[in-house]
Amino acid sequence: MKQRKILVIHGPNLNMLGKREPEIYGTTTLEDINKGLSEKAIKLGCSVDTFQSNHEGDIVEKIQDTKGKYDSIIINPAAYTHTSVAIRDALLLLDIPVIEIHLSNIYKREPFRHKSMLADVVSGQISGFGANSYFLALDAISELISKPSQD
């Protein structure tokens, strides 16, 4: 059986984790998260590639480039969650599981954060568990892609 490949996409400002609003996002850095994801992926029998961009177009191009290369995506679109039709449309091109994650509980924050442009096109959504949201998503996506296809 081939090793399953998962792409983790980090949106804008996530490169500042550990420094930016630690009372909301914690002190764990993006490098810490990426290292932990790689280690956990090995235990789950899959591999993880990570990508971070502060630019919407770069994220769209990365999503478009996943066809045939990855078995699933975990995406933290950050602020683009609430604004990006472009990222939503790119995800609609895919036929692989996608999990949307957020470090904070977006539904306990400002009203403009309550609406996700992606929620109805992803396989699932995890929010509010800090850096652990990524690891919960990795567990979930690993299970989704290891199930035999129902076709």
Catalytic annotation present for 102: yes
| Cβ contact 142:44 at 8 Å | yes
Catalytic-role residue among 70, 80, 102, 134: 102
The SS3 of residue 75 is strand
- End-to-end CA separation in angstroms for the chain: 18
Catalytic-role residue among 25, 70, 80, 134: 25
* 109 class by beta-carbon count within 10 Å (0-12 exposed, 13-18 middle, 19+ buried): middle
**Side chain identity, residue 119:** A
Hey, which residues are catalytic here?
A: 25, 102
